[in-house]
C-alpha cells in the first residue's frame, strides 16, 4: 500500500481564519513533506520532517506552521493567510530523508485551498 | 546551478501515435531520476525511478530510459486515458529534495 491521505479535499478560508491541513500515511515512512503547487507549475517544497523533527524549512512565511505529532501524521496550521496563498497543498512521504534512487516520495491527493 | 528541463511543454497525440517526452538535467551527484504522472487537481502519481545511465524501466505503455544528461519517457500506442501532465524530478546531495522540471502536458485524442 502506497497511500498517503489528506484532509480536507477542499478548504475555503478568510484571511483572518485559522485552519489546519492533515496528512496521514501508514507505510512506516519516516520522512514527510509539505509542498505547495500553483496552477501549471511543479510542486514547490515547503517543509521536510525526518523522524518527527523539522529538517528543512524552505524560508516559508510564519503564517504556515507545520507539526508532526507522530511518525504517521503531519499537520499544516494556517493563520492569517493571503489570497496569493491559494494553491494545491500536497503532502508526501518517503522511507527516509536519505537521497537514493529507491527512496521514492509518494504524494497524497492534495488539499485545494482558496483564501478569500 | 542544478536544473531540470522538460520538453515539449505540451504534446498532442492521436490515439496509437507513439512519441517520447524529454527530461534534460544538469545535477551534480545525481542520486535518482523520478517520473511522475499528475492528473488535474490531484497529487503526482509515482511512475518510475532511474539511477544509472543505461537503466530502463517499463510499465504498460510507458518506458523510461536514462543517459548521463537526459531521460526519456516513451509512450507506445497511447490511449486517451494517458492524458496527463508528466513530471520528472532529480535528487542529489544530502537530502531527498526533489528538483522538478516544469512538466509536459500530454493530450491524447481518440
pLDDT computed for residue A101 by the predictor:
65
Mean pLDDT of B32-41: 95
Mean pLDDT of B95-102: 90
Share of chain B above pLDDT 90, in %: 85
Q: A113 vs A59, A107, B73, CA distance in Å?
A: 20, 17, 32
**Would you list the DSSP string of B23-37?**
EEEE-TTEEEEEEEE
Mean pLDDT of B10-23: 98
The counts of H helices and E strands in chain B are 0, 11
pLDDT computed for residue A79 by the predictor:
95
pLDDT computed for residue A2 by the predictor:
66
Partners of A106 on chain B (C-beta within 8 Å) are: 46
Q: How many CA atoms lie within 13 A of A3 on its CB side?
A: 4
CA distance B58 to chain A (A): 16
Cβ of residue B79 closer than 8 Å to a chain A Cβ = no
Mean pLDDT lowest among A1-5, B67-71, B97-101, B103-107:
A1-5
Q: What is the sign of the dihedral through the CA atoms of B107, B51, A102 and A73?
A: negative
pLDDT band at A1 (very low <50, low <70, confident <90, very high): low
> Cβ contact (<8 Å) for A99 and B101?
no
Partners of B96 on chain A (C-beta within 8 Å) are: 31, 48, 94, 96-99, 103, 105
pLDDT band at A98 (very low <50, low <70, confident <90, very high): confident
Nearest by CB to residue B49, choosing from A43, A92, A101, is A101
- pLDDT, one tens digit per residue, over A42-96 is 999 999 999 999 999 999 999 999 999 999 999 999 999 999 999 999 999 999 9
Nearest by CB to residue A107, choosing from B41, B43, B91, is B43
Residue owning grid cell 515512512? A29
Output the nine-digit C-alpha cell for A65: 506552521
| Interatomic CA distance for residues A22 and A111, integer angstroms | 9
> Cβ contact (<8 Å) for B95 and A4?
no
Is residue A104 pLDDT above 70, yes or no?
yes
Using alpha carbons, select from A89, A105, A79, A82 the residue that is nearest to residue A9. A89
Amino acid at each position: 500500500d502506497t497511500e498517503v491521505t489528506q484532509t480536507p479535499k477542499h478548504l475555503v478560508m478568510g484571511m483572518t481564519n485559522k485552519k489546519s491541513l492533515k496528512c496521514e500515511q501508514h507505510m512506516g515512512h519516516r520522512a514527510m513533506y509539505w509542498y505547495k503547487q500553483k496552477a501549471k507549475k511543479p510542486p514547490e517544497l515547503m517543509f521536510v520532517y525526518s523522524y518527527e523533527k523539522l529538517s528543512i524549512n524552505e524560508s516559508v512565511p510564519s503564517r504556515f506552521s507545520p507539526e508532526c505529532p507522530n511518525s504517521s501524521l503531519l499537520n499544516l496550521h494556517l493563520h492569517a493567510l493571503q489570497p496569493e496563498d491559494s494553491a494545491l497543498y500536497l503532502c508526501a512521504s518517503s522511507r527516509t530523508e536519505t537521497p537514493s534512487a529507491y527512496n521514492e516520495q509518494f504524494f497524497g491527493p492534495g488539499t485545494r485551498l482558496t483564501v478569500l | 546551478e542544478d536544473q531540470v528541463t522538460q520538453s515539449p511543454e505540451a504534446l498532442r497525440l492521436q490515439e496509437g501515435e507513439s512519441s517520447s517526452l524529454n527530461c534534460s538535467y544538469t545535477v551534480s551527484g545525481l542520486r535518482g531520476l523520478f517520473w511522475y504522472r499528475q492528473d488535474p487537481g490531484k497529487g503526482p502519481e509515482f511512475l518510475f525511478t532511474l539511477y544509472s545511465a543505461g537503466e530502463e524501466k517499463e510499465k504498460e505503455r510507458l518506458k523510461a530510459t536514462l543517459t548521463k544528461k537526459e531521460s526519456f519517457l516513451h509512450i507506445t500506442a497511447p490511449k486517451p486515458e494517458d492524458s496527463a501532465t508528466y513530471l520528472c524530478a532529480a535528487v542529489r546531495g544530502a537530502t531527498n529534495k526533489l528538483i522538478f522540471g516544469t512538466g509536459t502536458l500530454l493530450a491524447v485524442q481518440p
